[in-house]
Amino acid sequence: MSPNVTNRPLTPADFPAVSRLHATVFGPGRFTRTAYRVREGAPAFSPYCRVAMLGERLIAAVRFTPITVGGEGGALLLGPLAVDPEFAGQGFGKRLISEAMEAARTDGVRLVLLVGDEPYYGRFGFRPVPPGQITLPGPVDPRRLLAAELIPGALARSCGPTAGQRA
Ligand SMILES: CC(C)(COP(=O)(O)OP(=O)(O)OC[C@H]1O[C@@H](n2cnc3c(N)ncnc32)[C@H](O)[C@@H]1OP(=O)(O)O)[C@@H](O)C(=O)NCCC(=O)NCCS
């Protein structure tokens, strides 16, 4: 990992660079994903969104959206996480997630959800949500709907539909 890369919170000035990174990494199909529908109803960013900078160049970004599950707050939806392909596999994704999850835990966030690969996200404590327990506003492969408890027992107490939490 380059010692010159620094992580910091996302700011509105980063939006154009983050959009370019998402277009590079995910392509045009990204707006049709179910997770995007959850984020549509929520503020553009939360205090847990972070970026990795190599000088002035944005090389990785992660978003966390405040959500409600079954009407209850205190939860986040992680994603998208994107690392510039030129810098993939060097620990930048891991570091962004670890820092943000630690901050969320400190703030008392109880649960983080995401739609993604368990082999990658399992290392941060993400496990598949029991099928049907939590729903998103669109189709999701149940094996890819993952949750990490920041407070023990939080997943068992979370069920129902997921929605972006308005400020
Ligand atoms: C997936 C991604 C976020 C990983 O970030 P990264 O900075 O490249 O990876 P890191 O350096 O944090 O982690 C590397 C480790 O993750 C593993 N890994 C990377 N992608 C993986 C995947 N899809 N499934 C399982 N493991 C994966 C690597 O094998 C490596 O394992 P190791 O630590 O045991 O050697 C990044 O490559 C990326 O942006 N990919 C395209 C977009 C994407 O798929 N985003 C996630 C869904 S929102």
Cβ distance 113 to 69 under 8 Å? yes
For residue 157, give the 3-state DSSP assignment. coil
| CA 93 / ligand 1 centre spacing (Å) | 7
Contacts of 154 by beta carbon, 8 Å cutoff, 6+ apart: 110, 111
Q: What residue owns the CA closest to ligand 1's atom 14?
A: 89
Query: In the chain, at which residue ranges do the beta strands (DSSP E only) sit?
Result: 5-9, 50-54, 57-69, 72-83, 111-115, 127-128, 134-135, 145-149, 160-164
Question: 55-97 pLDDT, tens per residue?
Answer: 999 999 999 999 999 999 999 999 999 999 999 999 999 999 9
CATH, domain 5-164, list 3.30.450.260, 3.10.129.10, 3.40.630.30, 1.20.140.10: 3.40.630.30
What is the C-alpha separation between 76 and 113, in angstroms, rounded?
6
Please choose, from the candidates 86, 66, 72, the residue with its C-alpha nearest in 3D space to the C-alpha of residue 24: 86
The pLDDT value recorded for residue 1 is 65
Ligand 1 contact, 94 CB (< 6 A):
yes
Question: 107-166 pLDDT, tens per residue?
Answer: 999 999 999 999 999 999 999 999 999 999 988 999 999 999 999 999 999 999 999 998
Ligand 1 contact, 7 CB (< 6 A):
no
For residue 70, give the 3-state DSSP assignment. coil
Q: Where are the domains of the chain?
A: 5-164
Cβ distance 111 to 150 under 8 Å? yes
Ligand 1 contact, 91 CB (< 6 A):
yes
Cβ distance 21 to 84 under 8 Å? yes
Ligand 1 contact, 81 CB (< 6 A):
yes
